[in-house]
């Protein structure tokens, strides 16, 4: 083979991370990740089950409450509850992430090292892992959601504006929830056991994101907290939007809130990352 002096060999321009380069990585990682997920078919099925069962339980509870209450409870009819939780099932599946629970292991065992040595920010690795998992599970989840929607007689009436705004709201919610949870996950750089932090964040998220019940059912202070913090914007907002609950102004303000929070989250992530990664001790590896 030719032995060019190294100076004359083509060297990739790593300084500028172009979008096309990033997409090329996403594509390649998508293919390997897909192969990997298929290798773990069983685990995939169990995950799917948990993604379905939790909203399904809420759905059954709340529609039952509404029906025994004479058709409605807290201003929602049984059909509206059904719609809320069926849409929530899909939105939750598309926005959730698990890296918070994985980071501790990565940092503690040094398994983070190979990812850190790539000329690419480690967040990209997780973004595409996350998206691949979602693409795969969505295929199975959508038919389940549709079936449940019919079975529980889900009632919702989105306007044309709602339908148009749903796409961006959903994508922004996905980005926001991922960024926030990935930043929280970085706590692993400071602590050996992050379980407690994750647990607190999980409980907050469960209530303030509208996962346990529509936010409209909560007292006003809770609703304000959910709106000031990123929680409402990372899950509940697109669900409410798809249900047709929101006015045009509310939709625009919601999208704005999402964008503002995403910008904040990116700044925060970079800041926390910069300080956290210094503490990485690459144990074992």
Partner 1 sequence: MRITPSTARTRESSVPWADSAVIAVRGLRKVYEVPEREGGVRAAAGSLFRRRTREVVAVSGIDFAIQPGEVVGFLGPNGAGKTTTLKMLSGLLYPTSGEASVLGFTPWRRDRAYLGRMTLIMGQRNQLTWDIPVIDSYELNRAIFRIPWPEYRRRRDELIDLLEIGELVRKPVRNLSLGERMKCEIAGSLLHQPTVLFLDEPTIGLDVGMQRRIRAFIADYNERYDATILLTSHYMADVEALCRRVIVIHHGSLLYDGDLPGLVRRFSPHKTITVEFEEGFSQAPGERLAALIAPAGEVVEQSAIGATLRVPKAETARVTGRLLAELPIADLTVEDPPIEEVIERVFSSGSSEAPGQDQVAAEITREAERR
In the complex, the residues that contact partner 1 under the rule CB under 8 A are 1, 3, 5-7, 9-12, 14-15, 17, 21, 24-25, 27-29, 31-32, 35-36, 39-40, 110, 113-114, 116-120, 277-282, 284-285
Least distance from partner 1 to the Cβ atom of residue 44, Å:
13
Q: Which is nearer to partner 1, 117 or 228 (CB)?
A: 117
Q: How far apart are CA 62 and CA 57, in angstroms?
A: 9
- In whole angstroms, give the CA distance from residue 110 to residue 121: 17
Q: Shortest gap between Cβ of 209 and partner 1 (angstroms)?
A: 32
Q: How buried is 210 (Cβ within 10 angstroms: 0-12 exposed, 13-18 middle, 19+ buried)?
A: buried
Cα of 251 vs its chain's centroid, Å: 20
115 vs 229 by CB, closer to partner 1: 115
Q: How far apart are the first and last CA of the chain?
A: 34
Tokens, residue 51:
């993604």
The CB-of-222 to partner 1 minimum distance in angstroms stands at: 32
Q: How far is the CB of 269 from partner 1 (least distance, A)?
A: 16
State the minimum distance, in angstroms, from the CB of residue 33 to partner 1.
9
CA 108/CA 30 separation, integer angstroms: 26
Residue (32 or 68) nearer to partner 1, CB: 32
- Rounded CA-CA distance 63/61 in Å is 6
Q: For residues 29 and 99, which CB has a smaller minimum distance to partner 1 in the complex? A: 29
Q: Which is nearer to partner 1, 7 or 249 (CB)?
A: 7
């Amino acid at each position: 083979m030719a032995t060019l002096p190294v100076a004359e060999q083509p060297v990739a321009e790593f300084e500028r991370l172009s979008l096309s380069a990033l997409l090329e990585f996403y594509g390649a990682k998508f293919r390997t990740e897909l192969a990997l997920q298929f290798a773990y078919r069983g685990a995939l099925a169990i995950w799917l089950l948990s993604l379905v069962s939790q909203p399904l339980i809420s759905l059954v509870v709340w529609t039952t409450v509404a029906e025994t209450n004479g058709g409605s409870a807290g201003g929602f009819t049984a059909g509206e509850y059904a719609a809320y939780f069926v849409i929530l099932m899909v939105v939750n599946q598309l926005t959730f992430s698990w890296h918070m629970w994985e980071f501790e292991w990565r940092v503690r065992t040094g398994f983070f090292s190979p990812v850190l040595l790539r000329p690419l920010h480690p967040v990209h690795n997780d973004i595409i892992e996350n998206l691949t998992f979602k693409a795969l599970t969505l295929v199975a989840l959508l038919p389940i959601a549709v079936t449940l929607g019919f079975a529980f007689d889900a009632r919702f009436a989105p306007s044309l504006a709602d339908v148009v705004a749903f796409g961006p709201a959903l994508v922004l919610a996905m980005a926001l929830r991922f960024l926030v949870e990935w930043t929280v996950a970085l706590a692993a750089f400071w602590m050996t056991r992050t379980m407690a932090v994750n647990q607190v964040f999980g409980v907050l998220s469960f209530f303030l994101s509208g996962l346990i019940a529509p936010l409209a059912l909560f007292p006003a202070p809770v609703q304000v907290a959910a709106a000031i913090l990123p929680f409402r914007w990372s899950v509940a907002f697109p669900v409410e939007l798809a249900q047709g609950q929101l006015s045009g102004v509310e939709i625009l303000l919601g999208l704005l809130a999402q964008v503002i929070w995403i910008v904040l989250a990116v700044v925060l992530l970079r800041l926390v990352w910069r300080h956290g990664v210094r503490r990485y001790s690459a144990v074992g590896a």
